[in-house]
């Protein structure tokens, strides 16, 4: 179909597409148009990776916006990292008056500013929270697009997408729903659920050959074999990378862990470096320098070392800046190989000539060991092979060690169809969260109303038998009632004040229960935890509830109201409290950790909120210790320990530190609201612990670090030079301020202005000598390399924010 023949789209669109080199629609796109996607029809498009799904979404959104009295279009992405990629893509339409907004960040706001936008990009969690917070514009949507909708199958996040789509469709009966999916076997079921037309296609713009490498040959699915020799001492992966490079192609290697990605990149760098010309070397050296600048950590250095030689790794522990630099250099064909964990397969647009799926098993805690990847995941990785317009074809290969494995891999992945997508809604954690939110935000006010709402979900459309859903619903309603989040009056349901707060804060009710119980326990004992309840397990009264949980209701009327909470909880105690909630991903315990953290647990026993489980309760105790490890990381960060030391000590990447810090800020913010709701005395202590972790500083720096432009290091230097508060900044001798800020005039002026000083100018001021601080020779220009990242190099620029741009 010629782009000029698409009905329903704005007049400018065909010309715009033609300018972009798009003359005709790809066949699945044409099918979508024929199915009415530009005329308001609901659509499920199940097509392979890189086959132009984004344009289908754009056609739907732009045609919806072109309608008279149209509302907005919402594009739901599965990962935050994809939100900016997609919005950048849609910004190409701003020249035609289509305003694009991305909604990430806080889960407890109603995103009022988005009301002016035409296209909004957000994760399903964010959309869910906007619905809970009554964002007015949500009812004003004309079109919603759900990207990667096959992820409704994901046990963790799928239910949120499922419930969110159901809510949006309940709010607005005329809403056009477009769902984009990888190729799956049961796309028709998704179409049934969403009352949608179906485009189910395996067309690809470039040919893809799947296969398995074994011995000295590549066995392809069409039955052919290509010789691909593995030299002595060379790995199969290195041989494939070398073979691809001989043909001037690049390779994407998928492995099963971050560590493996890093190790593989390091090893493959010796292969790629032989193929670089002088110009490539120089450009890669520049990129490596930029990578080093991002942060002063081992991850950064390792990545830079590999990149300089033409190889890279890409995983969730890398910072956003790292990832963006790697993706760009790979697209520019400077990087010859990228070793990635499957995050990259989830939608980042980085096609390559060949894909190697090196590991087809991955550690899976619930399976207690290594478990095979799903066919869908492997096919999505494989789908990254072949760059339209650049490569003649793409090849995606698995690696076999034996003839049996060769046969197995063909059966299991090459010839296999992807698994059907199934709703995961009937699981307890998903339901307890979504049932509370559904009642709190007024979608249902009775048990029957809830069950009627659940009829709109994929779960209901896939399961004729409702008994399981009803059983779990009833169990979760009991749970919510017992914990004081819901009240029941006959069949009627109402959220309590606490329940409303929990829903708005976007907390898992179990997290809220853990926090409330911990805080209550602290208050009850007057903050002297050594005299507090004995460890559970020792008193023989094991609660029946899930690990770590005591019903808040048991603690409500304990008749101990006179106890004075005279001692506020410590930062470590609070970090530990939030680290043990299900909303925080804990750090794993490695060998030796159990002993180390048990020791710390006993040494600091009085600081914990709520009872410590007994050592004889293996799993609970271990979870509790992992939370302690996380809490210690946070305490280190909030005690001004260098970032590079933290990443080394806890064996994590800078992106992980950033993630933990953000989650803690959110959870402590929530704890603060809960404590305020319950009229507790510990609010200031929680606020202080939160601010400390936000800025990564000790208590005495909290005030200073809160001034925009001052971060943990600058705050420390100012403090040590005698400037201790925001108010001091307004009065202090400018020469001392300038000296403490290493002679950077612009920075100093900025800081003073942000602190509210009337005359912040540094004209004619000479930096005073400040002990332990060296003035930056290039400082007076004020430019420096103000990248504002979390780097903690000698440079001053790192101080912009706590952890910068991860």
Query: Which residues lie near ligand ADP (CB under 6 A)?
Result: 22, 25-26, 29, 49-55, 349, 388
Q: How far is the CB of 187 from ligand ADP (least distance, A)?
A: 14
Whether residue 100 contacts residue 136, with contact meaning beta carbons closer than 8 Å, is answered with no
| Of 597, 587, 599, 520, the residue nearest 558 (C-alpha) | 520
Strand order in the sheet with 354-357: 225-227, 217-220, 208-214, 394-399, 354-357, 251-254, 337-340, 311-314
Q: How far is the CB of 26 from ligand ADP (least distance, A)?
A: 4
Whether residue 84 contacts residue 101, with contact meaning beta carbons closer than 8 Å, is answered with no
Distance set, CA 614 to CA 531, 535, 538, 539, 618 (Å): 17, 6, 7, 10, 8
Q: Which residues contact 282 (CB under 8 A, 6 or more apart)?
A: none
Closer residue to ligand ADP in complex, CB, 50/398? 50
Q: How far is the CB of 421 from ligand ADP (least distance, A)?
A: 17
| Of 236, 271, 274, 275, the residue nearest 255 (C-alpha) | 236
Q: How far is the CB of 105 from ligand ADP (least distance, A)?
A: 25
Closer residue to ligand ADP in complex, CB, 25/212? 25
Tell me the sheet residues that pair with 211: 220, 397
Distance CA 399, CA 382 (A): 13
Closer residue to ligand ADP in complex, CB, 23/282? 23
Burial (CB count within 10 angstroms: exposed 0-12, middle 13-18, buried 19+), residue 254: buried
For residue 641, which phi and psi values (nearest 5 degrees)?
-70, 140
Q: How far is the CB of 22 from ligand ADP (least distance, A)?
A: 4
Closer residue to ligand ADP in complex, CB, 55/469? 55
Q: How far is the CB of 390 from ligand ADP (least distance, A)?
A: 11
Closer residue to ligand ADP in complex, CB, 207/448? 207
Closer residue to ligand ADP in complex, CB, 29/352? 29
Q: How far is the CB of 293 from ligand ADP (least distance, A)?
A: 30
Closer residue to ligand ADP in complex, CB, 388/782? 388
- Residue 97 DSSP SS3: coil
Q: How far is the CB of 9 from ligand ADP (least distance, A)?
A: 14
Whole-angstrom Cα Rg for the chain: 28
Closer residue to ligand ADP in complex, CB, 349/614? 349
| Of 594, 658, 584, the residue nearest 806 (C-alpha) | 658
Closer residue to ligand ADP in complex, CB, 25/303? 25
Contacts of 739-742 with CB under 8 Å at 24 or more apart are 739/767, 739/768, 739/769, 739/770, 739/773, 739/775, 740/714, 740/770, 740/773, 741/714, 741/717, 741/796, 742/717, 742/767, 742/773, 742/774, 742/775, 742/776, 742/779, 742/796
Closer residue to ligand ADP in complex, CB, 52/790? 52
Closer residue to ligand ADP in complex, CB, 201/251? 201
Distance set, CA 223 to CA 55, 219, 220 (Å): 34, 7, 6
Q: How far is the CB of 184 from ligand ADP (least distance, A)?
A: 14
Structure tokens at 353: 């000539």
């Amino acid at each position: 179909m010629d782009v000029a023949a698409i009905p329903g789209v704005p007049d400018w669109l065909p010309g715009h597409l033609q300018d972009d080199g798009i003359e005709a629609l790809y066949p699945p796109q044409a099918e979508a148009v024929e199915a009415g996607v530009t005329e308001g029809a609901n659509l499920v498009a199940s097509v392979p990776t890189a086959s132009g799904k984004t344009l289908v979404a754009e056609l739907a959104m732009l045609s919806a916006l072109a309608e008279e009295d149209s509302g907005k279009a919402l594009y739901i992405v599965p990962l935050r990292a994809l939100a900016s990629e997609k919005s950048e893509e849609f910004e190409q339409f701003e020249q035609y008056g289509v305003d694009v907004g991305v909604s990430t960040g806080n889960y407890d706001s109603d995103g009022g500013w988005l009301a002016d936008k035409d296209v909004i990009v957000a994760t399903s969690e964010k959309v869910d929270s906007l619905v809970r917070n009554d964002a007015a514009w949500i009812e004003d949507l004309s079109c919603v697009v759900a990207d990667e909708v096959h992820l409704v199958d994901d046990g963790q996040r799928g239910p949120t997408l499922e419930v969110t789509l159901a809510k949006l469709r309940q709010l607005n009966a005329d809403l056009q729903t477009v769902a984009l999916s990888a190729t799956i076997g049961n796309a028709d079921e998704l179409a049934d659920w969403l009352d949608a037309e179906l485009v189910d296609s395996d067309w690809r713009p470039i040919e893809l050959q799947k296969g398995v490498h074994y011995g000295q040959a590549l066995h392809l699915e069409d039955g052919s074999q290509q010789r691909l020799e593995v030299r002595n001492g060379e790995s199969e992966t290195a041989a494939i990378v070398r073979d691809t490079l001989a043909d001037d192609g690049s390779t994407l290697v998928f492995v099963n862990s971050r560590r493996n990605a890093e190790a593989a990149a390091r090893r493959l760098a010796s292969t790629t470096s032989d193929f670089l010309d002088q110009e490539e070397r120089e450009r890669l050296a520049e990129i490596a320098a930029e990578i080093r600048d991002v942060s002063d950590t081992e991850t950064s250095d390792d990545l830079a070392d590999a990149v300089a030689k033409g190889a890279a790794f890409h995983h969730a522990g890398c910072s956003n800046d790292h990832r963006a630099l790697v993706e760009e250099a790979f697209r520019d064909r400077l990087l010859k190989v990228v070793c990635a964990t499957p995050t990259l397969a989830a939608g980042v647009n980085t096609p390559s000539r060949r894909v190697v799926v090196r590991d087809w098993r991955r550690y899976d805690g619930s399976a207690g060991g290594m478990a095979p990847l799903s066919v869908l995941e492997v096919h999505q990785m494989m789908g990254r092979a072949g760059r339209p317009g650049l490569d003649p074809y793409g090849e995606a290969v698995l690696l076999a060690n034996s003839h049996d494995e060769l046969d197995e891999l063909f059966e299991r992945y090459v010839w296999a169809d992807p698994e059907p997508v199934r709703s995961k809604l009937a699981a307890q954690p998903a339901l307890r969260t979504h049932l509370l939110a559904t009642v709190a935000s007024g979608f249902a006010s009775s048990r029957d109303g809830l069950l009627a709402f659940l009829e709109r979900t994929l779960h209901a459309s896939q399961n004729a038998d409702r008994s399981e859903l009803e059983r779990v619903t009833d169990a979760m309603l009991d749970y919510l009632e017992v914990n004081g989040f819901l009240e029941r009056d006959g069949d009627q349901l109402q959220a309590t004040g606490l329940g409303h707060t929990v829903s708005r804060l976007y907390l898992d009710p179990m997290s809220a229960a853990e926090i409330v119980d911990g805080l209550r326990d602290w208050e009850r004992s007057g903050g002297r935890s050594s005299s507090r309840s004995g460890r559970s397990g020792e008193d023989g009264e094991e609660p029946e509830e899930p690990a770590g949980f005591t019903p808040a209701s048991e603690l409500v009327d304990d008749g101990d109201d006179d106890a004075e909470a005279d001692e506020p909880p410590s930062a470590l105690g609070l970090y530990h409290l939030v680290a043990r909630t299900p909303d925080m991903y804990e750090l794993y315990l490695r060998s030796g950790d159990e002993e180390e953290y048990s020791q710390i647990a006993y040494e600091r026993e009085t600081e914990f909120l709520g009872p410590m489980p007994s050592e004889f309760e293996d799993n609970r105790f271990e979870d509790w210790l992992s939370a302690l490890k996380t809490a210690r990381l946070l305490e280190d960060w909030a005690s001004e320990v260098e970032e590079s030391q933290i990443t080394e000590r806890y064996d994590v990447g800078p992106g992980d530190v950033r993630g933990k810090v953000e989650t803690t800020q959110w959870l402590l913010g929530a704890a603060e609201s809960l404590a305020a709701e319950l009229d507790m005395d510990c609010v200031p202590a929680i606020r202080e612990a939160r601010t400390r972790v936000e800025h990564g500083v000790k208590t005495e720096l909290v005030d200073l670090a809160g001034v925009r432009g001052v971060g943990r290091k600058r705050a420390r230097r100012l403090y040590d030079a005698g400037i201790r508060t925001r108010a001091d900044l307004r009065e202090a001798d400018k020469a001392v301020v300038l000296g403490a800020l290493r002679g950077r005039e612009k920075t100093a002026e900025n800081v003073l202005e942000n602190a509210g000083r009337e005359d912040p100018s540094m004209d004619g001021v000479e930096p005073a000598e400040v002990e332990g601080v060296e003035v930056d020779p290039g400082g007076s220009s004020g430019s420096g390399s103000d990248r504002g990242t979390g780097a903690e190099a000698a440079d001053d620029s790192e101080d912009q924010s706590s952890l910068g741009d991860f």
